[in-house]
């Protein structure tokens, strides 16, 4: 059974009162205890049996950057965190976390993580660069856990597998936006990032989260290391749109992981618009839908809107 529900904090109906108190939709409670909620961009909340929650790349603030305009993002765009917005979701019990997983260091993936870590007490996984940037932005260093890819972590009711991955590439020279690393975690901190150009990619990771008999594989950019995926058989793949410069982007990925039951597109919305508005496709959704249908006709392509919950 697959169920979609809408759980929005702002303008929610009286019927959503249980959700605002932190309860799962009835469909999730009656099924396998696993649900996925999309917080825009590559922000995913995976709720698992036993009341455990994993967040991936949560970015609620969504300050304006112009990323999907013809001019592209201004590298000197100031970084900001809407703490009042985050407080309203966390304090209501609607958003919580035991672990926060960072796929890479760019502003639309990492900016809100330090504040969310402080608010929730979650353990944060990321590369050395990610952790250095997070610490510079005020994340509690005791909650930061280094990952390099290859880790397989068991937390009883769920597991997290960390995989080496690649960031999306663009242009004829296959470049990565804001490249670079910030090494020396625990020994040195970079200057406090103040502009989006200071949040460098710093290596890219993918994650498989499994619990309740369901496994979810997430990528933060439209590229991957094919050999890292060998033998994985996820039920749900959270697949970024794009990948136009990657050889057989959809076909290789879906074939390697055994043609999953569900493919949910991610990173497809223009994040210059608020989270409490319906997602606006920046232009990659139709192409990914077509590519998935051609490569894996047995996979269900399920589009989830902002703040919507998907129950596999």
CATH of the domain at 121: 3.60.15.10
Tell me the H-state helices in the chain.
17-20, 26-30, 83-91, 107-110, 113-120, 128-136, 249-256, 285-295
Token readout for 93 is 């019990």
DSSP string, 177-192: SS------TTT--PPP
4 inside domain? no
1 inside domain? no
Give the domain range for residue 148: 33-244+251-272
Q: Which of 41, 42, 45, 34 is nearest to 9 (CA)?
A: 45
72 inside domain? yes
67 inside domain? yes
- Calpha distance 33→29 (Å, rounded): 5
Asked if residue 108 lies in contact with residue 67, where contact means CB atoms within 8 angstroms, the answer is yes
105 inside domain? yes
149 inside domain? yes
pLDDT tens, N- to C-terminus, the chain (312 residues): 455 554 433 323 222 322 322 333 333 334 689 999 999 999 999 999 999 999 999 999 999 999 999 999 999 999 999 999 999 999 999 999 999 999 999 999 999 999 999 999 999 999 999 999 999 999 999 999 999 999 999 999 999 999 999 998 765 555 788 899 999 887 888 899 999 999 999 999 999 999 999 999 999 999 999 999 999 999 999 999 999 889 999 999 999 999 999 999 999 999 999 999 999 999 999 999 999 999 999 999 999 999 999 999
- CA torsion angle for 69, 74, 75, 80 (degrees, to 10)? -100
pTM value is 0.90
143 inside domain? yes
293 inside domain? no
Number of domains in the chain: 1
3-state secondary structure of 145: strand
- Calpha distance 247→93 (Å, rounded): 43
Asked if residue 89 lies in contact with residue 55, where contact means CB atoms within 8 angstroms, the answer is no
- Calpha distance 9→87 (Å, rounded): 12
- Calpha distance 281→306 (Å, rounded): 12
How far lies 261's CA from each of 12, 47, 296, in Å? 31, 19, 9
């Amino acid at each position: 059974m697959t169920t979609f529900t809408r759980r929005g904090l702002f303008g929610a109906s009286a019927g959503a009162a249980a959700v605002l108190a932190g309860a799962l939709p009835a469909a999730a409670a009656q099924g396998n205890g696993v649900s996925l909620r999309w917080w825009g961009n590559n922000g995913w909340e995976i709720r698992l049996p036993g009341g455990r929650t994993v967040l991936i790349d949560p970015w609620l603030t969504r300050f304006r950057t112009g990323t999907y305009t013809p001019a592209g993002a201004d590298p000197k765009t100031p970084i900001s965190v809407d703490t009042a917005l985050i407080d309203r979701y966390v304090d209501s019990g609607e958003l919580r976390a035991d672990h926060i997983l960072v796929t890479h260091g760019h502003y639309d993936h990492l900016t809100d993580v330090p504040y969310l870590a402080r608010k929730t007490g979650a353990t944060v996984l990321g590369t050395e660069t990610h952790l250095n940037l997070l610490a510079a932005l005020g994340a509690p260093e005791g909650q930061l856990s280094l990952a390099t890819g290859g880790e397989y972590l068991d937390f009883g009711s769920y597991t997290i597998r960390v995989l080496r991955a690649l960031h999306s590439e663009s242009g004829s020279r296959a470049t990565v936006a804001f490249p670079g690393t910030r090494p020396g975690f625990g020994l040195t901190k970079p200057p406090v990032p103040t502009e989006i150009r200071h949040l460098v990619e710093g290596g890219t990771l993918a994650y498989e989260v499994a619990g309740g008999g369901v496994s979810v594989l997430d990528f933060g950019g439209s590229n991957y290391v094919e050999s890292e995926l060998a033998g994985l058989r996820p039920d749900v793949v959270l697949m970024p749109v794009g990948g136009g410069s990657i050889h057989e982007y959809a076909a290789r990925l879906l074939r390697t992981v055994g043609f999953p039951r569900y493919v949910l597109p991610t990173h497809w919305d223009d994040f210059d618009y608020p989270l409490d508005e319906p997602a606006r496709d920046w232009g990659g959704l139709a192409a990914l839908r077509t590519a998935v249908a051609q490569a894996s006709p047995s996979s269900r392509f399920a589009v989830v809107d902002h703040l919507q919950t998907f129950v596999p």
